Structure 1
């Protein structure tokens, strides 16, 4: 069954307090200094083939339901079949 993966990230111009907390924890535990941004990943599994119409529908769902357009960007919509993107 194909899976459509939607990745959502905070807009670049906004602060990411969760990412900052993760970066601070990594530094505090001696695991390195990183800039971290935390996002969301959604996996939508479908039984039928993935058509252009279905992908367009998922992009609309991603913009309207899965993300908050004021503070987040949908950065990727990817089809994964048998674990391979």
Structure 2
């Protein structure tokens, strides 16, 4: 069994109101020096067996079809260290 992680983020040109809300709250809470905040999503998929190139391609298709909206979001797929 292996864990594959899909990180989804809004494309840089897309406004991120949640990120801006967090950024605005930080100084009020006493946290200074944060110049920007972008909010995203993380999906962890537990898969059977070894993660092959074919399996990664299938997971990328899952991300493109279901987990991310490719019009406004970018995603990355990586295998997380099992240790």
Global fold match (TM > 0.5) = yes
**Whole-angstrom CA distance in 2 between matches of 1:79 and 1:8:** 15
Off by >6 Å, runs of 4+ in structure 1? none
**Structure-2 residue corresponding to 1:81:** 81
Count of residues in correspondence between the two structures: 82
Contact 1:26/1:33 (8 A) holds in 2: no
Compute the TM-score of the two structures, normalised by the length of structure 1. 0.89
RMSD across aligned C-alpha pairs, in angstroms?
Answer: 1.1
Deviation per CA, 1:9-29, whole angstroms, max 9, x where unpaired?
Answer: 001001100000111111111
Residues 58-77 of structure 1 correspond to what in structure 2 (within 5 A)?
58-74=59-75, 76-77=76-77
Q: How far has the Cα of 1:43 moved from its partner?
A: 0.4
TM-score, with length taken from structure 2: 0.91
